[in-house]
Structure 1
Amino acid sequence: MKGATFGEVFAVREFRVLFGSFVLLIAGDVIKMLALSVLVYARTGSAGLSAAAYMAGWLPFIVGGLFLLSLADRLAPRALMIAGELVRAVTCLVVAYAGLPVWGLLALVLVTGLFSPVFFAARAAMLPEVLPGDAFVLGRSVLNVASASAQIVGLAAGGAFLAVTGPSGALAVTAALSVVAAVVLRVGLPYRPGRTGGPDAPGWGGAVRETLRVNRRLIGDRPVRGLLLAGWLPCVCLAGAEAMVVPYLGGQGRAGVVLAAAAAGMAVGEFVVGRFAPPNLRERLSLPLAVLLGVPWVGFALAPGVGWAAVLAGLGAAGLAYQLGLQRRFVDAVPEEVRGQAFGLQSAGLMSGQAAGAALIGAVGEVTGPGTAIAAAGVGGVLVALALTGVLRPSPTPTPTP
């Protein structure tokens, strides 16, 4: 099977619109959470509340993923994505200028964040409709590379805006980026109806009830469940390892070098595998790349310095490209009418799993020390990948009989 090319992917107008708005979304979200964290710390002087503020934008993925994802298939995707941008813009402006108490700020971010999984799911489910076949996998690779790059740029830009305008000004910048993204989506994307046909379609019930029903259906389907677990569990171990980098190096500056190397490794791995590996090879690489995701972190048992730690982190994160070999199979395994919810469940489980992995390895680090905990996360990643061999190694395509 011939693989798609970047030229073919970017030749599709709708993908260019999704790509541009996605970069604005990721960069804006990074600036928003950084500014919110600084704002809370400036008002309270509490490092704990500041950290809670930084994580507040991601925690609602758990609740939203469990109870609201059916909306991603019921409602028109363009309208959902635009609504997500406008909700983000209004939230940022209220946080920046309404003078709410700290508990009010955090509550507002948590409540509005409940719908974030729905907005993300609408975008993810639209991609295979815009880019059919192997072009979808390459499109996911491009978005993953863009996500890593936008996070790095967002952190740098957020720091600059905070220094010049303060947290309120940085939040206003995020609001402006969200408005621009909303305009781009409205002008650039054609209307597409919801997959389930709207509120008058047969079987339309409460969003919560429908989300729970479809989640049970997806998790009860053995092939879908296997692909979900294969997408989640190795990343749980990676998140645990990365969470220990700051305490391992004892300084935010040196840790930033290692985490930036991990982001660069991820981008390179996604680019190389997505662009140069043909579709069949890409799927065969899923198992060795998932193993690679864990192996380099085991080297932290030898207490490497910042240079070697950066090399190991970059190599390990390059293994994240294993997920590209699962994407086509996931789309094929999921019923089209619940594709939005399936992608939302995939993302919500990944977010939840990463938080759990960071907490688990953090607890190990309290007992054994950061270096040993990182190595334990690496060993866990290797064992998880091997346990998932049956899913990560695709079944051979049967040879047609003459």
Structure 2
Amino acid sequence: MTPTPMTTSQERAATYGEVFANREFRVLFGSFALLVAGDQVKIMALSALVYARTGSPGLSAATYMLGFLPFIVGGTFLLSLADRIRPRTMMIIGELVRLVTCLLLAFAGLPVWAMLVLILVTGLFSPVFMAARSALLPELLPGDAFVLARSVLSMTAAGSQIGGLALSGGILVAAGPAGALSVTAALSAVAAVVLRFGLPDFPARGVGEGGAVRETLRVNRSLLADARVRGLLLAQWLPVSLVTGAEAMLVPYLGDTAGIALASASAGLALGNFVVGRFAPPHARERLALPLAVLAGVPLLGFAFQPGLAGAALIALLATAGTAYQLGLQRRFVEAVPEEVRGQSFGLASAGTMTGQAVGAALVGGASELSSPHMAVVLAGVAIIGCSLALYRHLRPAAEALPTLGG
């Protein structure tokens, strides 16, 4: 397998106006906005439903985190489907699976254990559906426009975290858990229609060799064996996972006021992506990847002084703004992976990020048990700085990286 270079349009800075001028991207963006809004409502409604059935806050919280787990299995065994099935078909299947799942949760009267199993089983395919969407972007928007498209989707996801909680709360109060799940089902139905009639039926990128599981394992091994791809994956996974781990400490550190700091963290994510995407030209964006990754950890050191709510919110905003370093890796990642397995490559990157966030939260949480929440955040900041510096060869553009033995 050999990577396919992107077109020379990557040298010219794109604009958000050019990105949204692309009709197919508007369709992808609209369906993605419906997806993230629906998922926010779904997970809050499911948590409320489990709590109403069991009275257990612990089980309700575990339900909220359940979305991370399927990415480990789905990302390991099923990702080749993202390249073997037509992208539009795969995305529509994803919306229909979400629709049926929500209706079953709302009206089938399932016991709690069956509800959790249903979420886990259907969630196994989530990384495949996400990969199909992500892999289309460089085909629709080559060069720098692709990077800005990625930043738009990141900002949309961050905005959903800010507005989604309020939206979910309002729907839950007005319609109850079953009604809220019905809203998600309706949003999925709309998204499926938008995709069916708004997106061309692009062909599948590859046919694969053998079964989907065997092909996924083979390609994952091939990608991870490539030093360049492996380094770019680790650079996408590690710093941002530790930032998420630090965010997980805001609730035990701030208590009832943590929601303000968490909203500030989401705002920082959106702000960082907008500023770096809008004002940094392509070459500068790639050179900024290393300093931004390091700077994502530096503000967290301020928790050593045990800041109040305002200080913690500002630190969270600055730290998550630094995660815009990922924009400087996107073009190089597309160039590094073979086109025929681009869907699986993007799926592996996303699955690793989701899994890493869960692991990061667990590690920082474990550190808080041995020390305290604020010192665990400080340790996360030190770890972010350390791993970013250790990955400097992959966070810097190739022309600036120092040669190393073994490639």
TM-score range for the pair, normalised by the shorter chain length: over 0.9
| Cα distance in 2, alignment partners of residues 301 and 171 from structure 1 | 42
Amino acid at match of 1:58: F
Question: Is the partner of 2:68 in helix, strand or coil?
Answer: coil
Amino acid at match of 1:11: A
| Cα distance in 2, alignment partners of residues 76 and 58 from structure 1 | 25
Question: Is the partner of 1:59 in helix, strand or coil?
Answer: helix
1:314 aligns with 2:314: no
Q: Say which of 55, 58, 61 aligns to 1:45.
A: 55
Aligned to 1:235: 240
Q: Say which of 386, 389, 392 aligns to 1:389.
A: 392
- Map 1:199-348 onto structure 2 (within 5 A): 203-251=208-256, 254-348=257-351
Aligned to 1:67: 77
Equivalent pairs counted in the alignment come to 391
| Cα distance in 2, alignment partners of residues 148 and 337 from structure 1 | 30
| Cα distance in 2, alignment partners of residues 58 and 88 from structure 1 | 16
Unaligned runs of 5+ in 1: none
- Map 1:167-186 onto structure 2 (within 5 A): 167-186=177-196
Superposition RMSD on alpha carbons, in Å?
1.1
Aligned to 1:195: 205
| Cα distance in 2, alignment partners of residues 213 and 16 from structure 1 | 34
Question: Is the partner of 1:99 in helix, strand or coil?
Answer: coil
Question: Is the partner of 1:376 in helix, strand or coil?
Answer: helix
- Map 1:145-164 onto structure 2 (within 5 A): 145-164=155-174
| Cα distance in 2, alignment partners of residues 261 and 123 from structure 1 | 28
| Cα distance in 2, alignment partners of residues 394 and 328 from structure 1 | 10
Question: Is the partner of 1:190 in helix, strand or coil?
Answer: coil
| Cα distance in 2, alignment partners of residues 286 and 45 from structure 1 | 46
| Cα distance in 1, alignment partners of residues 162 and 314 from structure 2 | 18
Aligned to 1:379: 382
Deviations 1:81-112 (A, max 9, x none): 00000100110010001000000100111111
Q: CA deviation at 1:397?
A: 7.5
Q: CA deviation at 1:390?
A: 1.0
| Cα distance in 2, alignment partners of residues 397 and 98 from structure 1 | 58
TM-score (norm 1): 0.96
Aligned to 1:98: 108
Deviations 1:354-397 (A, max 9, x none): 10110011011011110000111011111111111111111228
Amino acid at match of 2:85: L
Q: Say which of 134, 142, 146 aligns to 2:152.
A: 142
1:24 aligns with 2:34: yes
Q: Say which of 65, 68, 75 aligns to 1:58.
A: 68
Deviations 1:155-183 (A, max 9, x none): 11110011111111000000000000000
Q: CA deviation at 1:57?
A: 2.4
Amino acid at match of 1:15: F
Question: Is the partner of 1:57 in helix, strand or coil?
Answer: helix
Please tell me whether the aligned partners of residues 249 and 377 of structure 2 are also in contact (alpha carbons under 8 angstroms).
Answer: yes
1:354 aligns with 2:342: no
| Cα distance in 2, alignment partners of residues 115 and 236 from structure 1 | 22
| Cα distance in 2, alignment partners of residues 240 and 58 from structure 1 | 13
Amino acid at match of 1:215: N
| Cα distance in 1, alignment partners of residues 391 and 400 from structure 2 | 19
Amino acid at match of 2:164: G
Question: Is the partner of 2:307 in helix, strand or coil?
Answer: coil
Deviations 1:51-80 (A, max 9, x none): 121122221011000000000000000000
| Cα distance in 1, alignment partners of residues 96 and 177 from structure 2 | 20
| Cα distance in 1, alignment partners of residues 366 and 143 from structure 2 | 43
| Cα distance in 2, alignment partners of residues 332 and 183 from structure 1 | 32
Please tell me whether the aligned partners of residues 162 and 267 of structure 2 are also in contact (alpha carbons under 8 angstroms).
Answer: no
Please tell me whether the aligned partners of residues 293 and 323 of structure 2 are also in contact (alpha carbons under 8 angstroms).
Answer: yes
TM-score (norm 2): 0.95
| Cα distance in 2, alignment partners of residues 225 and 19 from structure 1 | 29
Please tell me whether the aligned partners of residues 68 and 358 of structure 2 are also in contact (alpha carbons under 8 angstroms).
Answer: no
| Cα distance in 2, alignment partners of residues 58 and 84 from structure 1 | 17
Deviations 1:319-352 (A, max 9, x none): 0110000000000000000000000000011111
| Cα distance in 2, alignment partners of residues 397 and 316 from structure 1 | 25
Amino acid at match of 2:229: V
Amino acid at match of 2:224: I
Flag as ranges the 4+ runs of structure 1 deviating above 3 A. none
Q: Say which of 110, 126, 144 aligns to 1:116.
A: 126
| Cα distance in 2, alignment partners of residues 238 and 51 from structure 1 | 20
Amino acid at match of 1:229: L
Aligned to 2:8: none
Question: Is the partner of 2:67 in helix, strand or coil?
Answer: coil
Aligned to 1:82: 92
Unaligned runs of 5+ in 2: 1-10, 402-407
Question: Is the partner of 1:301 in helix, strand or coil?
Answer: helix
